[in-house]
Amino acid sequence: MDKTYNVAVVGAMGLVGGEMIKTLEKRNFPVAQLHPLDIAANVDKEVLFKGKPVKVKEACKENFKGIDIAIFSAGATASLALAPEAVEMGAIVVDNSSAWRMHEECPLVVPEVNPEDLDWHKGIIANPNCSTIQMVVVLKPIHDESKIKRIVVSTYQAAAGAGKKGIDALYNESEAYLKTKEIQKSEVFQYQIGFNAIPHIDVFQDGGYTKEENKMIFETKKIMGSQDIQVTATCVRIPVAIGHSESVNVETEGKITRARAQEILSDAPSVILKDDPSTNTYPMAIYCEDVDETMVGRIREDSSIENGLNFWIVSNNVRKGAALNAVQIAETLIKRKLV
C-alpha cells in the first residue's frame, strides 16, 4: 500500500487555505487524515474534504502532534510563532507567508524551477510571493538557454491578492460607484479599487520601493540561484478579481529570437503558450480562473537593446501563486523521499 500522510492546513477557513484543501483533493494527494486548523473563533466550523465534513481545530502547538506535513496560509505573524512549534512536533512546514522566504536556512521553492533546494531544508520551506512564482516559471527556461542579466517587471495584480476581503471590496465598491458615481473610501486598499489602478501594494520601504516590489527583486535572485540578475519591479493593484498579469522585459547574455523563445516555452513545464497576434491570441486574467498553468504570450524581441525579450505573463494567483505551488512543494518532498 502506498504511504499516506497526516496533513494540516493552517488558515483553513481563509481564501487560500480553502483552495489548498481543494487542491489536495483535486490532485489526489496521499492524505491519511486532513487536519484543518485556524483561529479559536473558527473552531468546530467545518470544511469539506472528499465529500465529508471535517471539523476545524485551533492552530496551536499540541494540534501538530502526529502531523507529517503542515501547509500554512495564516499570515506572517502566525507563521513566525507556529511554524517552529509545528517542526518541533515533527511536521515539515510549507509556509505561504512572507515570514521565512529570505531566511538563509529556509529554501524558497518553485518545483518547476529549483526542486533541488528542498534537499537542504531544516523543517520549514517557504512558498514564494505569487507574482514571483509566475514570473520565474516562465523565465527559468529562458535563463537556462542564455543567462538573464536584467529583469524589468510591472505587475497588474488582482484584488484576490488581499484575500476574500479584497474581492469583496472590488465588487462592493464597483457596485456602489455604478449606482452613485461617488468614490468610496476602501476599507481594504489605500484607495478605491473599483474602476481604479493603485501603484501601491504593501508598505513603502527604503528607496521608494514597496515591500511587494522588493519581494520580487530578492526572491527572484534566491529562487533562480543567481545574485547577479538585476531586477526592478513596479507592482500595481487593478480591478480584477482573480489572476495576476505581468509585463516582463529581460536582457540575456546571448541572443534569443522570438521564435526560439516560443519554442522553449512551448515545452516548458506548467506553461501554456498563448501567442498568436494574427488571431488576437494572448493571455488574459479572464482565462485563468480554472487554470493551474501559467500562461505567456505577446513574446517579442526588444528593439531597443541587442539581446532583449518582452513577455506578457498571466496566472491564477490563488492557485499557482499560492495553494497549488504549496501542494506541489509537498508532492516534491514525497517524490524526493524527504518526508
Q: What's the pLDDT band for 184 if we cut at 50, 70, 90?
A: confident
What one-character-per-residue DSSP string does 271-287 give?
EEE--BGGGTB---GGG
Give the tens place of pLDDT for each residue, 286-295: 999 899 999 9
pLDDT at 2 over 90: no
- Spatial distance between the Cα atoms of 219 and 225, rounded to a whole number of angstroms: 10
| C-alpha cell, 270 | 506548467
- Spatial distance between the Cα atoms of 223 and 116, rounded to a whole number of angstroms: 11
Mean pLDDT (the chain, rounded): 97
Task: Reply yes or no on whether 60 is catalytic.
Answer: no
- Spatial distance between the Cα atoms of 103 and 164, rounded to a whole number of angstroms: 28
pLDDT at 1 over 60: no
Give the per-residue pLDDT at 289: 87
Q: What's the pLDDT band for 50 if we cut at 50, 70, 90?
A: very high
| C-alpha cell, 236 | 500595481
Q: What is the pTM of this model?
A: 0.96
Please pick, among 35, 121, 143, 244, the residue that the annotation labels catalytic: 244
Give the per-residue pLDDT at 65: 98
Q: How many residues does the chain have?
A: 339
Please pick, among 106, 130, 235, 288, the residue that the annotation labels catalytic: 130
Give the tens place of pLDDT for each residue, 274-327: 999 999 999 999 999 899 999 999 999 999 999 999 999 999 999 999 999 999
Angle at 321 between CA 315 and CA 323, to 5 degrees: 125
- Spatial distance between the Cα atoms of 71 and 9, rounded to a whole number of angstroms: 5
Q: What are the chain's domains?
A: 5-128+322-335 (3.40.50.720), 132-316 (3.30.360.10)
Q: Are strands 148-157 and 230-237 parallel, antiparallel or unpaired?
A: parallel
Give the burial class of 278: count Cβ atoms within 10 A of its Cβ; 0-12 exposed, 13-18 middle, 19 or more buried: exposed
